């Protein structure tokens, strides 16, 4: 039967037991340490919204001067790996249907003749809509190349008013500068969530949960001892990924490290509360892992990492405000690139504190219900 007295000695013993359980269990070691490092490297180098190394098809029915010039410009474009020349519209359709090209350009027979007559030449671009994002970017690239050719065709034409573009915070639009800070929150989220989700479920599966029930350990000691390892490991992984972003990937860090660290601790604390609730209702470690991913994946999708929260329906925007990752992403991205002022950080920090308090309180209720 659990006692109500609080003992630092018992708390320390329970904390050491939890840490050793994570480090000694091969499944826990694999879940906690290996995926974050691998995913950081894979996502940082492979995940990008840029379009590179694509193939396109060209059906040139004109073979005149300006169609040849257009094809030459496409051939020298760095984002295009190979141009597939075809002899019919049907072959264009087949290449797109098989996914061998992302886009196809059909140049009509009167393309050069129309340009020579002072008219605008028209060409058709077919895009693989199954890859909508890459397809839209490819069309933008092709349109830019066509516009350059058009400017050469009519050099004396009045040019449109030029627009001077400046990219703030990320001058070269390096996609890695956006994705690595976000990965700090996502990978820390899943690591902390899995550690705490497995804690009570592992005790129940190994048969040590009954021993815990008859021990003199109090409920607060159990909750704190199961929270601290995840808090320490999650914070450590977060700091490791922040350091990797600065020193390995060369992302400028312009904000306050102290405020970012406080945000990271509150973020992990809120995730720990969610993980303890999952663990309290799970009978096996498999159920706990499934529960962690059932909560974690929607949280990532609704956090604003993959798509802006403002683009979501109003109801989902409200739900996104209850997700700790939503607020942490604002802070970590602002700390890296934006030199976010302390006042703006505090505006996202206090919701994290409220969410952490709410989740840990609910976790206490869930765990206490299981222990009684």
358 in the same domain as 277: yes
Same domain, yes or no: 41 and 59: no
Which has the closest alpha carbon to 135: 253, 54, 76? 54
Count of other CB atoms within 10 angstroms of residue 321: 12
Q: Determine the structural domain holding residue 127 and report its residue range.
A: 54-153
Q: How far apart are CA 292 and CA 265, in angstroms?
A: 19
Q: Are residues 351 and 244 in the same domain?
A: yes
Q: Over its length of 372 residues, how does the chain's per-residue pLDDT go in tens digits?
A: 444 556 777 777 777 877 777 777 776 677 677 777 787 777 777 666 677 788 889 988 887 888 888 888 888 888 888 889 888 888 888 888 888 888 888 888 888 888 777 777 788 888 888 877 788 888 888 888 887 777 776 655 444 545 556 777 777 777 788 888 888 999 899 988 988 888 888 877 777 766 666 666 677 777 888 888 889 888 998 999 899 989 988 888 988 999 999 999 999 999 999 999 998 888 888 899 899 999 999 999 999 888 889 888 999 999 999 999 999 999 998 899 888 888 899 999 999 999 999 999 998 888 877 766
Residue 158 lies in a domain: no
Chain CA centroid to CA 190, Å: 12
**Buried/exposed 326-364: b ≥16 CB within 10 Å, e otherwise:** bbbbbbbbbbbbeebeeeebeebbebbbebbeebbeebb
> Does residue 30 lie within any of the structural domains?
yes
Do both 195 and 272 map to the same domain?
A: yes
* 41, 58: one domain: no
The answer on 353 and 271 residing in a single domain is yes
- Domain-ending residue, one of 92, 124, 153: 153
DSSP string, 270-331: HHHHHHHHHHHH-SSHHHHHHHHHHHHHHHHHHTTSSS-GGGS-HHHHHHHTT-HHHHHHHH
C-beta separation of 273 from 279 below 8 A: no
The answer to whether residue 142 is domain-embedded is yes
Q: Examine the domain organization and report whether 101 and 66 are in the same domain.
A: yes
Six-digit token pair at 155? 């050099």
Domains in the chain: how many in total? Answer: 2
The domain that contains 126 carries what CATH number? 3.40.1710.10
Asked if residue 349 belongs to a domain, the reply is yes
Q: How far apart are the first and last CA of the chain?
A: 9
What is the structure's pLDDT at 365?
A: 87
* Residue pair 180/186 in contact by the 8 Å Cβ criterion: no
Which residue, of 153, 182, 213, is where some domain finishes? 153
In terms of Cβ atoms closer than 10 Å to its own Cβ (0-12, 13-18, 19+), residue 290 is: middle
pLDDT for the residue 233: 87
Cα separation, 277 vs 196, in Å, equals 9
For residue 92, the model assigns a pLDDT of 85
Give domain status of residue 112, yes or no.
yes
Which of 108, 126, 153 finishes a domain? 153
Domain co-membership, 282 together with 335: yes
Q: Is residue 340 part of a domain?
A: yes
pTM attached to this predicted model: 0.77
Residue 165 lies in a domain: no
Q: Are residues 300 and 353 in the same domain?
A: yes
- Is residue 161 one of the residues assigned to a domain? no
**Chain position carrying tokens 């290449």:** 95
Residues 231 and 291 grouped into a single domain: yes
């Amino acid at each position: 039967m659990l006692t109500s007295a609080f003992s630092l000695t018992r708390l320390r013993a329970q904390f050491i037991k939890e840490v050793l359980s994570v480090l000694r269990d091969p499944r826990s070691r694999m879940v906690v340490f290996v995926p974050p490092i691998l995913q950081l490297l894979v996502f940082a180098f492979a995940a990008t919204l840029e379009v590179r190394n694509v193939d396109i098809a060209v059906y040139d029915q004109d073979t005149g001067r300006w169609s040849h010039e257009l094809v030459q410009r496409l051939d020298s474009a760095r984002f295009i790996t190979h141009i597939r020349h075809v002899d019919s519209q049907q072959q264009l359709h087949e290449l797109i249907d098989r996914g061998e090209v992302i886009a196809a350009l059909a140049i009509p027979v009167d393309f050069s003749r129309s340009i020579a007559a002072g008219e605008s030449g028209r060409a058709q671009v077919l895009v693989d809509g199954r890859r909508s994002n890459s397809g839209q970017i490819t069309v933008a690239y092709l349109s830019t190349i066509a516009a350059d050719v058009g400017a050469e065709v009519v050099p004396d034409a009045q040019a449109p008013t030029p627009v001077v573009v400046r990219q703030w915070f990320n001058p070269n639009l390096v996609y890695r500068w956006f994705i690595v800070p976000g990965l700090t929150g996502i990978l820390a989220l899943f690591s902390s969530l899995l550690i705490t989700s497995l804690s009570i479920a592992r005790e129940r599966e190994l048969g040590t949960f009954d021993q815990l029930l008859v021990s003199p350990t109090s409920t607060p000691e159990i909750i704190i001892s199961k929270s601290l390892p995840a808090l320490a490991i999650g914070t450590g992984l977060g700091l490791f990924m922040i350091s990797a972003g600065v020193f390995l990937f060369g992302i400028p860090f312009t904000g306050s490290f102290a405020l970012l660290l406080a945000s990271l601790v509150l973020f992990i604390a809120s995730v720990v509360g969610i993980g303890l609730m999952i663990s309290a209702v799970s009978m096996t470690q498999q159920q706990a892992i499934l529960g962690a991913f059932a909560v974690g994946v929607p949280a990532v999708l609704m956090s604003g990492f993959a798509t802006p929260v403002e683009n979501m329906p109003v109801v989902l925007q409200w739900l996104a405000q209850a997700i700790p990752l939503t607020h942490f992403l604002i802070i970590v991205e602002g700390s890296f690139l934006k030199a976010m002022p302390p006042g703006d950080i505090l505006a996202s920090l206090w919701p994290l504190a409220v969410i952490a308090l709410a989740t840990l309180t609910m976790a206490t209720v869930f765990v206490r219900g299981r222990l009684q």
